[in-house]
Amino acid sequence: MDGKGRSPGASRSVLRHLGAMHLSGAVLLLTFLVPPYWMAAAAHATPPGDPGADAPFLLLVTVPSVCVVFHVAVQIPAGLLGAWLGRRRTTLTRYGSAVAVAGVLSLLLLRAAGWNAGQDVVPVWADAMVRGALGLAGYMWVVRTRPGSQPA
């Protein structure tokens, strides 16, 4: 215990989760080096020579915005809940819990953003889940426990 009644393991756990959040966000941003099909389709939807075609500029604004919203609304809560739900279990169980939570949160986020529940939301949701799952793998790698240590 330190002078304020906290254990040193608790502060290490917080630092691990902060590092995991940063890594998962960086991995998410790197996955957007390959743009989603719906962004690429929007960029090519305007006719050639249209003076109002702002798609290349909008992609530069949209990609980081989508990353930030998805990271804050889905990845971070899913990582925290997955680590909490899978405490005292294997890293793979934690990862599975986090992906399950992310699946629900991303579907709710897409519904809130105006995507309907029809056929067209499934490919967008699947794309978001693949990108998010890669970031969550990094999250769970950082907060994993070593044999013989206390779970974070």
Band of the pLDDT at 42, cuts 50, 70, 90? low
Exposure class string for 97-129: b at 16+ Cβ within 10 A, else e: bbbebbbebbbebbeeeebeeeeebeebbebbb
Q: 130-145 pLDDT, tens per residue?
A: 999 999 999 998 888 6
Q: 45-77 pLDDT, tens per residue?
A: 666 666 666 556 677 787 788 889 999 999 999
> How large is the C-alpha radius of gyration of the chain?
19
Q: Does residue 147 have a pLDDT over 50?
A: no
Q: 82-118 pLDDT, tens per residue?
A: 988 888 888 888 999 999 999 999 989 988 887 776 6
Band of the pLDDT at 124, cuts 50, 70, 90? confident
Among residues 42, 49, 78, 87, which one has the least CA distance to residue 63?
Answer: 42
Could you report how far apart the first and last alpha carbons of the chain are, in Å? Answer: 17
- Give the per-residue pLDDT at 55: 58
- Give the per-residue pLDDT at 63: 78
- Give the per-residue pLDDT at 102: 95
The sign one gets for the Cα dihedral 46, 52, 56, 62 is negative
- Give the per-residue pLDDT at 73: 94
Average pLDDT in the chain: 80
Q: Does residue 25 have a pLDDT over 80?
A: yes
- Is the separation of the CB atoms in 86 and 96 below 8 Å? yes
What global pTM score does this model have?
0.76
Among residues 36, 62, 39, 41, which one has the least CA distance to residue 130?
Answer: 36
The DSSP call for residue 75 is I
Residue 41 tokens read as 């389709």
